[in-house]
Structures are given as C-alpha cells and as structure tokens.
Amino acid sequence: MAGFGGLCPLPLRLGGTRAETAWTASDQSAVCRDLVAVARVLPFAHVVTDRDGAVLRYRGVNGLSSEHHPVVTAEDVGPLRFLHFVFPAEWEDSLGLRRSVNIKTAEASPANAAQADVLTAEVNNAAGRQRVTVGSMNAGGYVQLTVWGSYLDYVRIEDYGGATDKTDCEPEKTPYAWNFLNALRDARGSGYTRERGGLVHVENMALARAHAASWRRAERLACNANPGTALEKAEEWRQVLGVRRRDRDTDATLRTRNAAKMRAALGPTRATVDDAVAELMGPLYVRTWRNYDPTTMADDPGTFWPGVNPGAATRDLGGGAWYSDRQHVVVELVQPAAVGALEWQDKLADLTELLDLMLPATCTFDWVVSADSGFVLDVSRFDEGCLG
C-alpha cells in the first residue's frame, strides 16, 4: 500500500507530525535489528529421510524442492547404520546474493516419537564439504535432521530496508499531498463539495499527488547529487569514484563507501582522515590515535635518522633510511556481536583501502579492537599505553 502515494495510511517517510502513525528512523532500525536477530538463529534446514536415505520431506532457507535438499547416502557398519548428509556449499537467496552454508551444529531424532532409535549427529566439514553424519542403533524407522549454520552471519538491517545512516525526514513531516489537498479545497471555495468521495475529491487527490511528486523529485535530485545520499545514481558515483562493488554490497553500504572515497579529494589532513574513517566505519569507529602532538616540531624519542637523530640502533633500517613513530596512525574500532565475521572483514578491507589512498607514503597505519583489558592489535593484545 505504501506505493499508492502520500495519503496512504502507511508511512512513506521516517518521522512525522502524528504520533500514532509516525515511524521514526530509530523505530525502523529497531524492527530491522529484530528481524536480523531472528534470522540468525533460524535453522538452515529440516530434513526427514527413510532408513535408506531417501529424502521424504525437506524445508530449508535455500528452497523446498528436490534440487535444494542434501545428497544422502547410507552405510552399514556392524549393527549401526550411518546416513551421510552432504549439503551444498553455497546458495542464492531471494536478494540474489550468494550465501555460504557453513553448517555448525546438527540435531537428529526419530521422526516418530514411538520409535526406539537412538540417534547421534556429527558435523564433518572436511574437504570443503558441508557434511553431517547421523548414526542409528538400528536400521529401521525414519530420521529427521535439523541443522544450523553461520550462513546468515552476513544478514544486515539493510536487507530489510533499514540503514544506520537513515534519519527522520525533515522537509515532509506532514505529507506534501495532504497540504496540497487542503490548499485545493480552499482554492475551489464553497461551490465545490469537501466530502471525501465523488469526482471532485478524486480530482483533488490526483492533483495533490502530482504536485507532491514534483516536490519529491526535486528532493531526490538533491540527494542524487551527493554520493553519501544518492540512490538511483549510486552506481554512477561508484564508477566515477572508482569504488569496487562486491556482490553482497547493499545500496546503503555502497553509499557509505562512495561518501568516504569522496572525502579523499579534500586531502590527507587530520580532520579529513578522521571524518572519512568515521563515515566509512559508522558505529564501529571509536577514535583515531596518533603518536605525536601536531603542534610540536621536535623529533619524537622513537625517531631514527642517521646523522641527524640516530636513536636506537635497533631502529636502523639500513641504506640511510629513517624511521619515526610520528607517522603512525592507529584506528580504534569496536566489533559488536551483531556484526558477523564476513561483514567485519569487508569493513576492515575497506578501511585498509581508504587509509592506503588517503595517507602519505611516509605514513603507516593499523587498526585495533577496543576491549576491557586494553586493545587487540590484529591478533595480539597490548595495553592502551602503547598508543600514547
């Protein structure tokens, strides 16, 4: 119904003047976060087979038909019968994104509660196969298997229409169409009916929505002129700025990367670098650490410069090269539990690419993860004082 226009009872914009119908950006984000939380704990598949491994029923997030269910083979070892379930390594979801299955846990049980079967399930993903082996104490009866995996670690609120950069709509807190409708009623005067029905009302509605669409087109044009807010033109901004696009990038992800890349044109000043990193990493960003006072010109104690400030011999890189802690940038981040491993690695790759582009060749950089007991630098832990 939201596509019917500005007078539709469902909200077309985030925020509004009527508390009973307004849906804010934070409301939408909360709903999307709940959907993500539910999606990440759902089982990947539920399958029922007979004693020979023939699939009788299959229900999985990758599909319901026979082409989606696992390949099942039976093997007898003494009194035990083993069923080997081999799931596909990846699948394509409804958004057209390739998802890895990556089975983590499995649970097997008799399909009939009256059966006396004792079942065990073991995950064995060796050789790149998504395999689960079910062992049975006897060769009879039916087996039902439920498997869970990290295939949805990369589900994000953007997949449900949310985005961390969304804000409440400021210009159209009251629908444009409603304002135009009231203006048309007043302009026509008492000679025309103001009832919500009949040809006059239909004509007023059509004109009001047409005028509202014109105002919205102007706002859309302004949004598309900025890489950080563009929607229809986001792909063109990507091409102009030379930003790589992954298959799993959403519109919101692409807008963030375009906006961060655009800031690189302003030069590698301290403020520009910090703003670009903050825009790219969003809520994952904490602060940027630098081992120097920009107002001080003297060499820092860690500098090794042959013939000028020799420093410690262990810092000699050879060939007359010099070394200084002054040109080291460390970005402090947080990794919430809701951020999956794949999304985290994508963010770090984007951060590395951005800093490599923006910082001078004399600079080195790294990232740290904020923790209660200090920081984690890649895989090693060190105290906050090391950055001071």
- Give the per-residue pLDDT at 5: 42
CA torsion, points 335, 339, 342, 347, in degrees to nearest 10?
-60
- Give the per-residue pLDDT at 351: 93
Q: What is the mean pLDDT of each run of 10 residues along the chain (388 residues)?
A: 42 63 78 82 86 86 81 81 82 72 80 55 66 67 80 71 76 80 82 73 88 87 90 90 83 88 86 91 89 59 68 67 74 83 86 91 84 46 40
- Give the per-residue pLDDT at 135: 73
CA-nearest of 120, 177, 360 to 264 is 360
- Give the per-residue pLDDT at 122: 73
- Give the per-residue pLDDT at 352: 92
361-364 contacts at long range (C-beta below 8 A, 24 or more positions apart): 362/327, 363/327, 363/328, 363/329, 364/327, 364/328, 364/329
At residue 159, what are phi and psi to the nearest 5 degrees? -65, -20
CB 192 within 8 A of CB 200: yes
The answer to whether the predicted template modeling score (pTM) of the entire model surpasses 0.85 is no
